[in-house]
Structure 1
């Protein structure tokens, strides 16, 4: 039995809330995670988790033991980081989280440059549109869009997230092309679910307009919203990086180019007390160069 891996499986299960979620995080099968925890319980001679078909909870001993496991795993990580500092090349595992659209359209295509510079770094990337807790969920670094609200993290500014409004040529030929943002009230729109109720704010040369257009379709995927727009189902407001290729090929037509939509700030986040290993330093240098604020 590899006791370190068993401890990792136990801690991951507690943090993730289930063995299946821990298995996905660790890149293992749920059965293997269950076997590792069972082996740990057999070695200790006591149960760590109370399990039912619907939920799991820590036993009294499990509550204290998980903190000891975290301390042990942190000490192992510190020892590995100390060894890494003696090496000339960045190596080891780096856990990264990023918003889904940014991750698919911008981060993943840019990673080739980082892989060439740091081929020995293992990248574990999670794409999610929720604000993950770096400390609780064990991430080294995060890309985040929006206003910063956590002063406990170091935040490096990146290029702001720019939004554009567009529609397919067939939709515009059928329903007409809106000339002014106020015209959106007479059009069908496709909204990204997390921001479906948010008004669309436009800034012109001398005025601002706030429009809450009629929404016929809401969907929880930016890529799906773009697909619906390409099919002529309505007008979308999406990140410029997501629709850039469609606009360049004519699959979508940008509307109101003379109006600016509110740009959303974007940040690279990492823990303030995080030891600056070579792998972390190398990724920060890559990310700030690739996506730095202009």
Structure 2
């Protein structure tokens, strides 16, 4: 038994949430992963994982041993890598999760830049407006929009997520251009169904206004809201990053530019591990630089 390989496998099984997920990330069979864990438990003469057909959990000793494995593997990585750090080429799979609109409009174009810098890293992007569980989903790093609950995950604050109210020129031709939120009552709204008919909150200096949208259409996709707005169905509140090109091409017109909308905090979250592969370290640095606070 290769003790270090078995220890790495054990850490990966815990981080990935299952032996099958660990096998995919390690590019080996799930049978081999199971054999390594069994060999490690046999070597230690103690059980590390409680396993059922549906889930797994660490034993009390397994929790302690996991921290020890991470410390040992970190020291090994440092001793192997420090001297030749400049020659190391990050490689392997990096699994990233992001909200659909942000991921499609902002992240995907920048992943080309990251991929050009690290061509040996395989990127797997998971787009979902649900907050993916990093362990259960085998996620290395995730972008999160909105307030974060207390978590064992590490968090890096990025630039806030900004929203804009907009409409197509064809729709605006039927209405007078609004000068304040008080002028929005005649307008029909296209809604993102996840947020529903929550009031849109506007502010300008010390002035604040709430407007409850009169919906004509709702859908559970930000991209579909954008297409409906471009088609002239009504006004929409959309992420700026999703409609910047539409503003430039005049396919959509920004409404009430002097009235601000609440910004949503955006964060990068990742495991609280002492040892991180270079591909993850490099991506965290890249994301902070690309989407950091402005």
TM-score bracket, normalised by the shorter chain, equals 0.7 to 0.9
- Tell me if the contact between 1:81 and 1:277 (Cα under 8 Å) persists in the aligned partners: no
**Partner SS, residue 104 of structure 1:** helix
Q: Deviations over 1:158-216 (max 9, x none)?
A: 11101000101111111332221122222100011111232111111121111111111
- Tell me if the contact between 1:166 and 1:255 (Cα under 8 Å) persists in the aligned partners: yes
Q: What TM-score do you get using the length of structure 1 for normalisation?
A: 0.73
> Any unmatched runs of 5+ in structure 2?
1-5, 36-49
Query: Does 1:264 find its partner at 2:245?
Result: no
Q: Which residue of 2 aligns with 1:141?
A: 141
How far apart in 1 are the matches of 2:187 and 2:176?
9
- Tell me if the contact between 2:17 and 2:138 (Cα under 8 Å) persists in the aligned partners: no
Query: Does 1:97 find its partner at 2:100?
Result: no
Matches within 5 A, 1:53-202: 62-63=52-53, 66=56, 86=81, 88-202=88-202
How far apart in 2 are the matches of 1:109 and 1:223?
16
How far apart in 2 are the matches of 1:80 and 1:218?
50
Q: Deviations over 1:30-75 (max 9, x none)?
A: xxxxxx88x99xx9xxxxxxxxxxxxxxxx974498559xx8xx98
How far apart in 1 are the matches of 2:136 and 2:165?
37
- Tell me if the contact between 1:98 and 1:143 (Cα under 8 Å) persists in the aligned partners: yes
Q: Which residue of 1 aligns with 2:254?
A: 254
How far apart in 2 are the matches of 1:64 and 1:202?
48
**Structure 1's 82 and 218: CA in aligned 2 closer, same or farther, altered over 3 A?**
farther
RMSD: 3.3
Q: Which residue of 2 aligns with 1:281?
A: 281
**Partner SS, residue 136 of structure 1:** coil
Q: Which has the higher helix share?
A: 1
> Any unmatched runs of 5+ in structure 1?
28-35, 44-59
How far apart in 1 are the matches of 2:54 and 2:291?
42
**Structure 1's 95 and 81: CA in aligned 2 closer, same or farther, altered over 3 A?**
farther
Q: Which residue of 1 aligns with 2:241?
A: 241
**Partner SS, residue 247 of structure 2:** helix
CA-CA distance at 1:135 after TM superposition: 2.1
Q: Which residue of 2 aligns with 1:226?
A: 226
How far apart in 1 are the matches of 2:269 and 2:224?
28
Q: Deviations over 1:95-130 (max 9, x none)?
A: 110001111101110012211221111111101000
Q: Which residue of 2 aligns with 1:204?
A: 204
